[in-house]
Amino acid sequence: MIRRYCLVILLSALAAGCSESPEKPEILVDEETYISLLVELQLVRTYSETDRMDEAAADSLRDKIFREYGVSDSAFWESHEYYQQFPQAQKKRVEEAIERLRKDRMEDPDRPAGTQR
């Protein structure tokens, strides 16, 4: 199941087209924070798709995650669009996010994906 979600992350990250001269957003989320947010948001998405969380609760959790990282959702999505303009580098970022998801899953295989320890 985690493989399916990892594939979704990879495909969605690589799906954006490339522009010739991408414009850097006014607020660019640094790569480390961006990757951490990708992981966190994927976990929320996975958990919400198990019908254990309604969409309102998922939205609330996403808002909390953005607050904890000190990043607005618009800054994240603008950074996401910008980073997608560089497919090779974005592939590496997405692979890092997938690796973190795998590592998290391997550390506690009995814990459902997206739940806290």
* Helix, strand, coil percentages, rounded to 5, for the chain: 65, 0, 35
In 3-state terms, what secondary structure has residue 23? coil
Q: Measured between alpha carbons, how far is residue 111 from residues 15, 52, 92, 114 in Å?
A: 31, 14, 27, 8
The residue ranges of the chain whose pLDDT is under 70 are 1-20, 107-117
How much is the pLDDT for 12?
59
Write out the DSSP string of 64-88: HHHHHHT--HHHHHHHHHHHTTSHH
How much is the pLDDT for 114?
47
Which residue type does 79 have? Answer: S
